C-alpha cells in the first residue's frame, strides 16, 4: 500500500513505486519497512507484470539516515537490520521484473536498492553513486553484501565496498553499476517502455528463472531474515557514531 513516504501508481500491468522522503529519500526504519511491505504486496498481485522503482527529486535514495540511525539503541538497531534485509530481499526476489529508474544520487543503501533491480536505467546528469558504508563504520547486513557480490564485478565491488568511493553516473555506466543512461527528461518514458516490454514475459516462468539465478544469495538472505544475521547483536559501534558525526559536519 502507498504511504506518505512511498507513492504508487499504475499504468496497465506496470506499477511505479516512488520514494518520496525529502530531501534525499534517506532510509529510516519506517521507510525501510514500507519498501518491504509494498514489494511483498506487488509479489502477491497477479495483475502486476512489472515494477518501476524510482525516487522523487534529485536523489534516488541517499541510504541510511545518518541523523538518526547511528544513535539507535540495540532494539532499534535490530529492527532496522531486519527491515533492511527484508527490503533488499523484497526487491531482489520480486517475482516480476523490476526496472530501476535511477533519477539521481544513489548512495550506500540507496545504491543497494538500485542494484536489487533487474535493469537499471540512470538519468544522464552528474549524480553520484557509491557504497560508502565503510566511511561511517557500518558493516553490511547479509542481504546488502549478497546483492553487492552478485551484481558487481569483483574489482568494482572491491573499489566501492572497501574504499567507499563515489563515482559519477557515467562511470557507473562504464563499470556496469548502471545498464544505460538516458536524457533526464526522458527517464520515466524509457523506464515505462522497458517495463511494458518485459511485462509480456511469461510471469510464472520469469519468477522461477529469477529465483534459480539467485537461489544461493536468496537462501542466505532468507536465513538472515529468519534470525541468522551475524550483526543482530552489536551492529553499530562508537566508531560509527564518531564517523557519522564527522560526515554530517563535513569532515569526510
The residues annotated with a catalytic role in the active site are 133
143: which residues sit within 8 A by CB, 6+ positions away?
A: 84, 85, 86, 87, 88, 89, 92, 221, 224, 225
Are the CB atoms for 119 and 99 separated by under 8 Å? yes
- Show the beta-strand stretches assigned E in the chain: 6-11, 14-19, 50-55, 59-61, 98-102, 105-107, 119-123, 128-130, 166-168, 180-182
Candidates 49, 4, 47; CA nearest to 198 is 49
Are the CB atoms for 152 and 160 separated by under 8 Å? yes
C-alpha cell at 7: 507513492
CA dihedral of residues 202, 113, 3, 24 (deg, nearest 10): -140
Amino acid at each position: 500500500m502507498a504511504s506518505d513516504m512511498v507513492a504508487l501508481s499504475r499504468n496497465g500491468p506496470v506499477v511505479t513505486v516512488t520514494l518520496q522522503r525529502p530531501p534525499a529519500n534517506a532510509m529510516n526504519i519506517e521507510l525501510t519497512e514500507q519498501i518491504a511491505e509494498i514489494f511483498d504486496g506487488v509479489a502477491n498481485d497477479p495483475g502486476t507484470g512489472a515494477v518501476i522503482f524510482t525516487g522523487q527529486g534529485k536523489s534516488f535514495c541517499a541510504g541510511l539516515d545518518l541523523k538518526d540511525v547511528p544513535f539507535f539503541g540495540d532494539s532499534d538497531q535490530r529492527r532496522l537490520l531486519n527491515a533492511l534485509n527484508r527490503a533488499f530481499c523484497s526487491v531482489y526476489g520480486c517475482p516480476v521484473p523490476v526496472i530501476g529508474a535511477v533519477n539521481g544520487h544513489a548512495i550506500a543503501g540507496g545504491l543497494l536498492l538500485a542494484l536489487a533491480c533487474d535493469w537499471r536505467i540512470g538519468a544522464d546528469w552528474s549524480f553520484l553513486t557509491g557504497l560508502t558504508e565503510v566511511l561511517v563504520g557500518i558493516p553490511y547486513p547479509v542481504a546488502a553484501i549478497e546483492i553487492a557480490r552478485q551484481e558487481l564485478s569483483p574489482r568494482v565491488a572491491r573499489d566501492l565496498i572497501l574504499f567507499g568511493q563515489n563515482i559519477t553516473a557515467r562511470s557507473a555506466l562504464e563499470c556496469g553499476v548502471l545498464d544505460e543512461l538516458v536524457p533526464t527528461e526522458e527517464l520515466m518514458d524509457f523506464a515505462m517502455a522497458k517495463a511494458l516490454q518485459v511485462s509480456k514475459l511469461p510471469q510464472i516462468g520469469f519468477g522461477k528463472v529469477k529465483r534459480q539465478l539467485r537461489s544461493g544469495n536468496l537462501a542466505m538472505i532468507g536465513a538472515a531474515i529468519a534470525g541468522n544475521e551475524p550483526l543482530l547483536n552489536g551492529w553499530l559501534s562508537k566508531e560509527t557514531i564518531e564517523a557519522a558525526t564527522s560526515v554530517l559536519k563535513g569532515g569526510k
